[in-house]
Structure 1
């Protein structure tokens, strides 16, 4: 069945499969949101069913929670876990310092809360997500619905003095209505093209009234697992300063693909 996957999906799968090896019995694990994170949840579900892995997962969205329960993972809340051993999540972009843009799936607030309540964060991504400078992917900013146009105007004003190439802002839509996060908020997507100083921008954005959180994850990610379409994975550890590469077997009869 893996032969039917596109190279991008193969890359996401091998990254997720390798990252699933970080999860050990008894852990409390944050489970990310998005297409790559969904592969992780499926891989972990297979380890629960086939290997008897026992851990508890804290999902970062309602759809991740639904998938986790579906594949047999015990789901708990962050309040029940209190603190996590590990969070594994995807990213829309990452750079050489493992700074991230996240929120393309609309779950950036829960994702950031869960990631920062963890001893370690591991990002899983296909190789196309690596960039020299963040910003090609629109930066999501979650805002409360009340006065969102005023918040947008304040963001536009703040961007004038920021080191960015573009300043277009669009309200994320879901059909004919504004997209709503799990918390009922809106998302403004900032089309910046290039972000020269992500740390400064993240701090400025979160000072604007109405802004709940932004999609810049700075000094949060510890390791990144990069998948390639030929089955290779590269693991980079920002703290240890190490990089390793290995080949992940793509089993044609893998049970993981029976419902895909």
Structure 2
């Protein structure tokens, strides 16, 4: 994970850690697209009776970095099913328009310029692994210039079975490294590569990679993990992790509905 978290020495707050976490997670389920409006209209407005010790908006923003690690622990504690079928991918997270990158002080020395399939951007990458039930198995933040293959071994170190990725994960060294630990990396082959025998179930799973795109779509359009209004790197990170926590709490997630008795013969 990009080292964005720094120790903050703040004066004691009347608000508990769980209250701050709840407010941040609920934001991503509230349909509000602007956190300040959400805080003023909902937390200090219609739901003020549930948060009698709520502080001012500016004070709350100061307190946000204190919940980064608790949010990470919260996500780690959520139920995850080891189904043996996993999907991996990354998505870009812009922090501002790339033409304004040199003027952005909040992310100076942290964010990087890079080129994706959508063009140039200035920001970071979010890498995730989900199972075929849409459950979040692992996540990692990295600089925009990071090769997707570099972060995968650490993310997948406790997984066994099959993991499906796009062509960006093609690497014989990576395949061998994961295979030794009981995880088979499945990717499409490039046009200049020799054809190889692919099991029918693997072909089917490759066509189901859209599940992880659905997860990213929900994280960006239902939750608000990507926007350009951040004024500090710490709160940028808190917002992302809170969005992931909100996703983990969803009752209905993108799912393939696989019947394991058929897969296992």
TM-score, scaled to structure 1: 0.28
Indicate the structure (1 or 2) with the bigger Cα radius of gyration.
2
